[in-house]
Chain A
Amino acid sequence: MDSRVITITSGKGGVGKTTTTANLGTALAMQGKKVVVVDSDIGLRNLDAVLGLENRIVYDLVDVVEGQCRLRQALIKDKRLPELYLLPAAQTRDKNAINSVQMVQLCQQLRQEFEFVLIDSPAGIEQGFRNAIVGADEIIIVTNPEMASVRDADRIIGLVEAAGKPEPRLILNRLRPDMVRRGDMMDVADVLEVLGIDLLGIVPEDELIIVATNKGEPVVYDKRSRAGQAFMNAALRILGEEIPLEELMEAPTLMERLRRLVGFGPAVIGKRTRSWPS
């Protein structure tokens, strides 16, 4: 099968890797693709809960790698989508339980069965991260528009490059249009300028993500959610569709328009009119 192995990683923890993996996986399956999402965060199993599959786990990734069970036995079928599967992480094992060679073999095995293999990477830049990217054809980096997260993303870009992988694409998660509008948060263009990689999607901060996670249903199912729409758009871009980037800014207020007219004031997405005397 002509399959694509895509790893979702970030460097920093808590930026939205697991959320992104679950939603892209679900979105691709909604588009009729045969998908497996792999939780490679050994010892910190999470992806199962975001997908609402935590009660069905019998075997895990380490069991498969060690030959304790067959791959088919460890794969968990999604509740709703017949073409979506989860390969859960081991919860009680050390994160060094598997090595790169085993991970490459596992990816090869998964390629036989699926069109898309999405790997949720652990945080950090150690063995777990390296295992997560070693078998990947493509890398998606998730970052938030704040310093520490962007800095870690840059580090990851360097490591991905050094590993001989193609240039990663970026999902900018938890963007707050209101803060960007006030100039209190970096905007999309700022982050892109600093990181210099292509953008796959912009996902706004959205309470509905927490609601969705609580229900064990990825937010892409929720038509009202802008984050859900953003994940669906990113999935469509993965499939090669040309979807214009999300217009997340609400119409500027009169005050903001005035300020822009005068030629100073906070950054505005799209037209970046900044000029304060230094």
Chain B
Amino acid sequence: MSMLDFMASRKRPRPGELAKERLKVVLVQDRVKVNPELLEQIKADLLRVISERLEVDEQHVEITMTREDRWDKLQAAVPIKRQKITFEWDPPYYGPSAEGLQGPLQVEVEREEPSS
């Protein structure tokens, strides 16, 4: 293996690894008879349910079938969009120093969006 190949192998999976990953996908499809079309439907269903509660980044949702530890798995990666969560907080009284903090507060938290 030349130095160039060696550098390149950092970025790309080797053919052996690639074969395993491809096999995992194709075997689940062979066995469970899940085709890409069905996965799209499942994805749409999932999105509908989840977006009732959370703001989903629909562009980056990934639904995959894979096999791990002898199990066929449906994996869903659903990124959540940056959002504001507000809630009421009634801090407990700890002593004199917390005197100024009595009574419920409005707290606003901003969720970080992953940098991509």
Residues on A facing B (Cβ under 8 Å)? 146-147, 150-151, 154-155, 158, 179-180, 182-187, 190, 193-194, 196, 255, 259, 264-267, 274, 276-277
Contacts and interface: CB of A to CB of B under 8 A. Distances in A.
Question: How many B residues touch the partner, as a band?
Answer: 20 to 34
Nearest to B11: A276
B30 A276 contact: no
B17 A147 contact: no
Contacts of B68: 193
A255 B14 CA distance: 17
B70 interface: yes
A166 B5 CA distance: 45
A264 B17 contact: no
A196 B31 CA distance: 13
B11 A194 contact: no
B6 A259 contact: yes
A277 B19 contact: no
* Residue from the set B11, B12, B26, B27 with the largest chain A CB neighbour count within 10 Å: B27
A267 B14 contact: yes
* Residue from the set B19, B26, B30 with the largest chain A CB neighbour count within 10 Å: B19
A184 B16 contact: yes
B67 interface: yes
B62 to A, nearest CB: 12
Contact of A190 (B1, B20, B70): B20
Interface in B1-32: 1, 6, 9-17, 19-20, 22-24, 26-27, 30-31
B9 A276 contact: yes
